Amino acid sequence: MVTIPLQEVVGKIAALTDHRDVDMLEVSLLKTVNEMLKPTWAAIFHVSENDPPEFSVRICGEELSHEAPAETFSALASSQGITAFSIVSRNREVIAYLLMSRENSLNPAEHQMMSALFRIYDNYLSVLKDSQIDRLTGLLNRHTFDFQLEKALNLIRDAYKDEKATHQRRLKDAGSFFLGEIDIDHFKRINDSFGHLYGDEVLLIIARILQSTFRKSDLIYRFGGEEFVLIVYVDNDTEADMTFERLRRTVENHAFPQVGKVTVSIGVTRIGNSSMPIELLGHADQALYYAKQNGRNQVCFYEKLLADKKLHAHKNSDDVTMFEEQS
């Protein structure tokens, strides 16, 4: 049995909840289990409605890895010497599994300690998710975007550096991230004509359309009001164009209760290896502004507008990129 002083336990619980990010909270849970129970390895698998549990992160000794094991979850969970724990939410739903390999089986006190850790984890996870979710639509909120975009950009930069270093394939053949800014056309008119109740219903329906149009790995945010932002990964520019155009057509062809036809304007920009958050939002916003000023209900790509000389970029004395629409 692993015996840990009460003061140290309290310290580890404090460390577990000293995060403002869901992914880091998960890593912190694994590290806490690793320090308290000294397993050979431990791993967390996420649970989704229709798919088998999906690997998230693993710890072995002090080393963390996000590389999925060769074995399936079922094969690992049924292996000798593996203990599988269900992480259950306050709604009594299994949200994840923690698999652990250890020479000695856990005793009742250690099982009880694991249950207490999972309760703390779920309680704090709920608090974090509540702070990251838009209450009306259930989408991620603006605050979460500000944090996750910087994380996403760092990952993209690391990927570019790794690819450049290994020369495994040419960068132009790699997939790309795109940021799209979506704005509901004439939304104020909808609220004024039909009332805010129907305006909220339009927002909810568009949120559902976004969720059904894009993959689970894509990031969807409500920025407030009638504006949404997406971060998507696609193979090339053509697929990006098809993806955002499909969204535009889906909204246009949907029959909204009482309101009838609703359209959206979309501004899109590529996320590059040297992109900055304020620069990306500026690019997408300029493309969106052009779409709304030139007929609405269309998708405009910032890079194409520049190439077609419909926008002009220049830099001011502070080295911040500014934009002008060309007549």
pLDDT digits (tens, 9 = 90+) for 194-211: 999 999 999 999 999 999
- Tokens matching residue 21: 């990010």
Residue bearing the bigger pLDDT, 280 or 18: 280
What's the farthest any 2 CA atoms get from each other in the chain?
A: 76
- pTM equals 0.67
Cα distances (Å, whole numbers) of residue 191 to 104, 105, 115, 187, 294: 64, 61, 48, 6, 23
Average pLDDT over the chain reads: 83
Checking if the pLDDT of 53 tops 70, the result is yes
Active site residues: 226
Domains of the chain, with CATH numbers?
Answer: 6-130 (3.30.450.40), 142-325 (3.30.70.270)
Detail the DSSP E strand segments found in the chain.
41-46, 54-60, 63-65, 82-88, 94-101, 176-184, 219-224, 227-234, 264-271, 299-301, 311-315, 321-325
Q: What is the pLDDT of residue 51?
A: 80
End-to-end CA gap in the chain: 76
Dihedral angle over CA of 14, 20, 26, 30, nearest 10: -30
Dihedral angle over CA of 251, 48, 51, 204, nearest 10: -10
Q: What is the pLDDT of residue 103?
A: 87
Q: Which of these, 184, 181, 210, 182, lies nearest to 283 by C-alpha position?
A: 181
Question: If DSSP codes are grouped into helix, strand and coil, which group holds residue 178?
Answer: strand
Report whether 267 contacts 291 (CB < 8 A). yes
**Strands 311-315 and 41-46, sheet pairing:** unpaired
Q: Which of these, 219, 265, 224, 218, lies nearest to 142 by C-alpha position?
A: 224
pLDDT band at 29 (very low <50, low <70, confident <90, very high): confident
Q: What is the pLDDT of residue 325?
A: 53
Alpha-carbon Rg of the chain, whole angstroms?
Answer: 24
Q: What is the pLDDT of residue 196?
A: 94
